[in-house]
A and B are shown apart, each in its own frame.
Chain A
Amino acid sequence: DTGVSQDPRHKITKRGQNVTFRCDPISEHNRLYWYRQTLGQGPEFLTYFQNEAQLEKSRLLSDRFSAERPKGSFSTLEIQRTEQGDSAMYLCASSPRYSGNTIYFGEGSWLTVV
């Protein structure tokens, strides 16, 4: 499978715990995105990287959220001190250098905060 890979696919955590999601983009895609999706809604943009540089962060990304892409390949999204409102699907996507705006999504990581 050469698509965007996300891990874990499902995570249940207690409120106040930290969680980390990993994303492996499609090989040689230089742009990587994180989106969040809640039930019944469309995905909402969180942040994106071009290579290892984080170029934009949404206001949705509070101080408890941090994303990294240290070597310009895989990325991690960490949520500290989780709250019940963080329960959502976290989607990673990637796009190649010359595709314009066409981005390809992974299957998502479901987070449930109890």
Chain B
Amino acid sequence: GESVGLHLPTLSVQEGDNSIINCAYSNSASDYFIWYKQESGKGPQFIIDIRSNMDKRQGQRVTVLLNKTVKHLSLQIAATQPGDSAVYFCAESRGDYKLSFGAGTTVTVRA
């Protein structure tokens, strides 16, 4: 079965607001987590990653938070823009080189 999953399959957000996309994982051996953005008809695009020895990492308009206690990570997007509309996937690995993906959250930005 899947080792990662997202709390909500869809998220609707007003343009300019902040978005929070959640992901839960079940395996405490997971040591690396990564967020991808996938637009319709395209391959997944790397957004940001985080290792299990960290609890927060920031990029350009994005922040990933990792809570190992409850096995939860989130992706925060600041000042959401129409171009942020896409499917977002979290993925994890456990000391090897392959990633396990959840089913994804579809983010729709309202103008």
Contacts and interface: CB of A to CB of B under 8 A. Distances in A.
The contact size tier of chain A is 20 to 34
A31 B89 CA distance: 21
- Pick the most buried of B42, B93, B98: most chain A CB atoms within 10 A of its CB: B98
Interface of B: 2, 32, 34, 36, 42-46, 49, 51, 89, 91, 93, 96-104
B98 A105 contact: no
Contacts of A95: 97
A105 B45 contact: yes
A97 to B, nearest CB: 11
Interface string A74-112: 000000000000000001010100001111111110000
A101 B46 contact: no
Contacts, number: 57
Contacts of B2: 42
Contact of A108 (B32, B34, B43, B93): B43
A56 B89 CA distance: 23
Contacts of A56: 96, 98
Nearest to A44: B101
Contacts of B98: 33, 45, 48, 56
Contact of A31 (B45, B97, B100, B104): B97
Given A41-B103, A48-B98, A56-B98, A101 B43 contact: no
B89 A101 contact: no
Given A43-B44, A48-B98, A101 B104 contact: no
A45 B103 contact: no
